[in-house]
Amino acid sequence: MNELVKVVVIDGHTLVRYGLIGLVGTEPDLEVIGDSGRRAEVFGMVLSERPNVVVLDVSPPDLAGLRVARDLRHQYAELGIVLLAPEGQDDLLFSALESGVSAFVAKSAPTDEILAAIRHAAVAPTSFTATGLGPAMSRRDHSTTQTLLSPREAQVLDLLGQGLSVRDIAVALSVSISTAKTYVARLYEKLEVSNRAQAIMTALQRGLLAPKV
C-alpha cells in the first residue's frame, strides 16, 4: 500500500482553509497533518511534521505568501509547494514559476484541479505546473512585442500590411528609400522574420495587425 501524501494547509481565510482541509480529507491518498492561518508558522510545521506538500495562499498586494514560498524552496528542495491565488494574475503566475514552486492554482479552480496540483507537487516538487500557463505566456509575448515596437515601426508594419512597397512606404513617411529599408529591416529583426509575408503572418498571430475583412 502506498504511503499517504502528507499535506499542510496555510491560508489566512478561515473558510477557505477549512474548505481545503475538508476537500483533501476526503481523498484516500491524501492526509492533512497540519494547518494554520499564519504563514510564519509554516516553517515550524514543516520542520516538525515533515509534510510532502504545503498548500499556501498568496494574494496581491500583499505578496508575503510568495516570499514564504521562495524561502521554503530554498530550505527544502524536495518539498512540494502549491500556491493558491486569485484568478487572472499573470504577473503572479510568472513570479511563482521563477520562485521554484511546484504548482500555481487559482482559488476559483475546480476541486479536481486543486487536487491534481497537490498530487503533482508530491511526485514532482521541482516541476512547475499551472492551469492557463500557455495562454498567459502568449499574452506576455504579445505584450512584449508591442512594447518593443517603436511608433514608427508600428506605422511601417501597418503600411506593409496594406501592401505598400518599400518605395511607397518611403513616400508615405516622407523619408528616403534607404531610411524606409532600415525601418523595415528593424521591424523584421524584432519580429524574427526575414520577409514581408512572414512579418504579416507573425503580426496577425500576435494581434499586432487586424485581419482584413
Low-confidence stretches of the chain (pLDDT < 70) are 1-2, 60-62, 88-90, 132-147, 210-213
Question: According to the model, what pLDDT value does residue 119 have?
Answer: 95
Task: Sketch out the chain's domains with CATH numbers.
Answer: 5-132 (3.40.50.2300), 149-205 (1.10.10.10)
Q: Are 14 and 37 in contact (CB under 8 A)?
A: yes
- What pTM does this model have? 0.63
Q: Are 81 and 56 in contact (CB under 8 A)?
A: yes
Question: According to the model, what pLDDT value does residue 138 have?
Answer: 59
> Vertex 129, ends 18 and 51: CA angle to 5°?
45
Question: According to the model, what pLDDT value does residue 1 have?
Answer: 43
